Structure formats: structure tokens, C-alpha cells
Amino acid sequence: MTTPAPRPGILDIAPYVGGEAVLPGVAEPARLASNEGALGASPRAVAAYQALADRLHRYPDGGAEALRAALGRRHGLDPARITVGAGSDELIALLVRAYAGPGDEVLHSRHGFLMYAIAATTAGARPVAAPERNLTADVDALVAHATERTKLVFLANPNNPTGTYLVRDEVRRLRRDLPGQALLVIDAAYAEFVARNDYSAGDDLVDETDNVVMIRTFSKIYGLAALRLGWAYGPPPVIDVLNRVRGPFNVGAAAQAAGIAALEDQAHVDAARSHNDIWRAWFTDQVKTLGLGVQPSVGNFVLVSFAARAGANADAAERFLKSRGILVRKMGSYGLPDALRISIGLEAEMHAVVAALTAFLEQAA
Ligand SMILES: *Cc1c(COP(=O)(O)O)cnc(C)c1O
């Protein structure tokens, strides 16, 4: 007997490995490996989730009417131009599946989010990486790597794992100089954390053009990663395509209800943003003081480089942090083997990471 073989290319995909979440022997490790919201979900979202417990036999609203209306109100957008996904990961996969296939190219920046290349390969398309400048997406390089075969261009803005971002005018220039047949996908998973007046999450560019789509998530600042909830805002033809290829009930009822309640609790979002502002700045300073490299970040995570420290390397640091009950993300799969990505957690967790890094560098010296 032989097991059937999948389509060509599928077995070349290295499975996505998420941030570690459990540490044997440690009941409550500091989970700083997946950029989950430090403050957790809004109590109102939790209550909305719990309120669904006695209605689990009912299918969800396949059109997510109430959730799309709430998103439209919150962001000042037309709900007809919004569709939802089981996390933005699902929307990435659906966009690639719908717009690219064998012979096509999917463009992203060198240290962009890993799911873009995985989704491209899954669809039989070729992922193409454009070099970055200072760990930041480079508009000229992206444009130079676009061809008539480029069907999608993914820009995470801000980018994970680097924490860097492109200003509004640069994203507009990218759209202007890319070939028109290439759909530009702006993945603004961390938009709510950014407080810069030269930044846009991308909805304005969606409105100005016919070939830009913005994707967003409830997994980061809203603290709802467990429920898998994301959304896309795009031109009506793109939203129509997504609605044709998605499963009819791709987002569960609990996710929809919790998402609506979370949108109604902007005080919680503001608290999460303030918390992040304070501890990202503090942590960045501490890391610099330790003599490690740190990339200025606008997200809820910081990329820490060990390249400049003789005798210390990222893998050894990751193991040391783990021995102290702290989980962070190794970056080898992103082509950054000298770095660790560390999420901004609670105050005590940030103090614990700095204490552990200090001890690590002392014993490595
Ligand atoms: C976390 C993340 C996502 C995935 O979010 P989900 O909605 O949980 O699937 C998408 N894009 C980027 C850049 C991310 O960091």
C-alpha cells in the first residue's frame, strides 16, 4: 500500500512552528513568545463568550452581520466591504488560494511574516523575498522584485518580527509603483499599538484604489487569540471573492460575540496600548543598557540581537530564559538566528526577563 502524495511543493513546506506555550515543570511560564495581548481579553468579551454556552447547537451567523456592523461603526467603514476569517491567517491563505497558483509569484519582504511564503507554496505559487533595509521593508526593492507574474504582495505593517513600519506615503508609493495586476495586502495585525501620525493601517489606501486589501486581527491588542478572529477590508470584488472561497461558517458564534463585545470596550484597548507604550519603552532602554542590539519597535514585541556580544548567542540566551520559566521566540526560521523576539508582557514578566538577561550575560562573559 502507498499513501497518496500531495501536490508538488507541499512537502517542501516547513510546518509553521508557533511560539512555545508550555514549559514542563513550570505551572505558569512567562509566555512572551507569541505577541498575545499582555492584559488578556476585555471582561465584556469574556462574558459574551460565556453567555453562548447554552446555545452551542446553533450554527453561527455565516454572514457575521452584527460583527461587521460593529467593525464598520468602530472604524468608520462600510460593512459591505468587510469579511471575516478564522484569524487573519485564514484570510492570508484564502487570498493566496484565490489569486495565485502554479506559475504565479507572491512577493513579500525578506523578514516578513512567515505565513505568506507558506500560503504561497501551499497554493503552488512561488514565494519571492525582496531584501530589506535596516530590517525594514524597502519599497524600491519590492518594486524591483515584482514581475508580470506577481499576483500578490504582502506587507505586514508594522512587521512581525522586526517591529518596524512603513509610513503612509511609502505604502502609497509602493502601491503606485507596483504592477496593477498585483493585489497589495496590508497586514495590519498590530495597527492598534501604533501611535505615530505618519502611520496608516491602510484603509485609506483601500478606499483610493481597486487593488489593495487590509487585513486585521483580534489576536493581538484585543487578546482573543484563542477564538481565531480576523477580518478583511477591501474593494467589493475582492470581498466577493473571499466570500465565495471561505467556508460558510468559518468564524464561530463565540468568536463573533466576543469580538463585538471587545469592540464596545475601547477603554480596555486604551489600557492595553498604554501598558504597551510604558513597558516597551522601559524594556527597550534596559536591553540597550545591557549592551544588546534592539530594533525600535512600534508593536507589542521587541527584536533583541545578540550579534554584538562576544560569547553570548541567541540560542543560549533562549535556553537560559527557559530555565527561568520565560518563553521567548527564536528567530532562525525568519533568517535572524542572532536575535530573539520578546513580547511585551505584564510588569512582573518584563522585570523577570531583564533580570534573566542580566544573569545570562554575566555568566556568558
Ligand atoms: C499574529 C499575526 C497574524 C495572525 O493573526 P491571527 O489573526 O491570529 O491569525 C497575522 N499577521 C501578522 C503579521 C501577525 O503577527
Stretch 269-278: mean pLDDT: 98
341-355: pLDDT as tens digits: 999 999 999 999 999
Q: Whose CA is nearest to atom 2 of ligand 1?
A: 189
Q: Which atom of ligand 1 is nearest to the CA of 91?
A: 9
Residue 312: pLDDT over 90:
no
For residue 27, the model assigns a pLDDT of 87
Q: Which atom of ligand 1 is nearest to the CA of 220?
A: 1
Q: Which atom of ligand 1 is nearest to the CA of 217?
A: 7
For residue 15, the model assigns a pLDDT of 81
pLDDT band at 147 (very low <50, low <70, confident <90, very high): very high
H/E/C letters for each residue in the chain?
Answer: CCCCCCCCCHHHCCCCCCCCCCECCECCCEECCCCCCCCCCCHHHHHHHHCCHHHCCCCCCCCCHHHHHHHHHHHCCCHHHEEEECHHHHHHHHHHHHHCCCCCEEEEECCCCCHHHHHHHHCCCEEEEECEECCEECHHHHHHCCCCCEEEEEEECCCCCCCCCCCHHHHHHHHHHCCCCCEEEEECCCHHHCCCCCCCCCHHHHHHCCCEEEEEECCCCCCCHHHCCEEEECCHHHHHHHHHHCCCCCCCHHHHHHHHHHHCCHHHHHHHHHHHHHHHHHHHHHHHHCCCEECCCCCCEEEEECCCCCCCCHHHHHHHHHHCCEECEECHHHCCCCEEEEECCCHHHHHHHHHHHHHHHHHHC
Query: pLDDT over 70 for what percent of the chain?
Result: 100
147: number of Cβ within 10 Å: 12
Query: pLDDT over 90 for what percent of the chain?
Result: 90
pLDDT band at 365 (very low <50, low <70, confident <90, very high): confident
Over its C-alpha atoms, the chain yields an Rg (Å, rounded) of 21
For residue 53, the model assigns a pLDDT of 94
Residue 290: pLDDT over 90:
yes
Q: In angstroms, what is the span from residue 189 Cα to ligand 1's centroid?
A: 6
Residues with CB under 6 A from ligand 1: 35, 87-89, 113, 156, 160, 187, 189, 217, 219, 225, 230
For residue 331, the model assigns a pLDDT of 96
Q: In angstroms, what is the span from residue 225 Cα to ligand 1's centroid?
A: 9
For residue 8, the model assigns a pLDDT of 85
For residue 227, the model assigns a pLDDT of 98
Q: In angstroms, what is the span from residue 89 Cα to ligand 1's centroid?
A: 6
Q: In angstroms, what is the span from residue 113 Cα to ligand 1's centroid?
A: 8
For residue 156, the model assigns a pLDDT of 98
Stretch 119-144: mean pLDDT: 97
Residue 19: pLDDT over 90:
no
Residue 150: pLDDT over 80:
yes
State the Cα torsion 349-20-185-60 to the nearest 10°. Answer: -100
Stretch 358-363: mean pLDDT: 94
Q: Whose CA is nearest to atom 5 of ligand 1?
A: 88
pLDDT band at 66 (very low <50, low <70, confident <90, very high): very high
Q: Which three cell numbers stand for residue 255?
A: 468568536
Q: Which atom of ligand 1 is nearest to the CA of 35?
A: 1
For residue 25, the model assigns a pLDDT of 85
Residue 1: pLDDT over 90:
no
For residue 14, the model assigns a pLDDT of 82
Residue 119: pLDDT over 80:
yes
Q: Whose CA is nearest to atom 7 of ligand 1?
A: 87
241-254: pLDDT as tens digits: 999 999 999 999 99
In order of their start, the domains of the chain are: 19-40+267-364 (3.90.1150.10), 43-264 (3.40.640.10)
Q: In angstroms, what is the span from residue 279 Cα to ligand 1's centroid?
A: 21
Mean residue pLDDT of the chain comes to 96
**Which residues, including other chains, have CB under 8 Å from residue 6's CB and lie 6 or more apart?**
none
Give, for ligand 1, the residue of 162, 187, 215 to mutate: max count of ligand atoms closer than 8 Å to Cβ: 187
**Which residues, including other chains, have CB under 8 Å from residue 188's CB and lie 6 or more apart?**
157, 201, 202, 214, 215, 216
Q: Whose CA is nearest to atom 11 of ligand 1?
A: 189
pLDDT band at 9 (very low <50, low <70, confident <90, very high): confident
Give, for ligand 1, the residue of 83, 92, 217, 344 to mutate: max count of ligand atoms closer than 8 Å to Cβ: 217
pTM, 2 dp:
0.96
For residue 110, the model assigns a pLDDT of 97
Q: In angstroms, what is the span from residue 311 Cα to ligand 1's centroid?
A: 34
Stretch 106-126: mean pLDDT: 96
pLDDT band at 166 (very low <50, low <70, confident <90, very high): very high
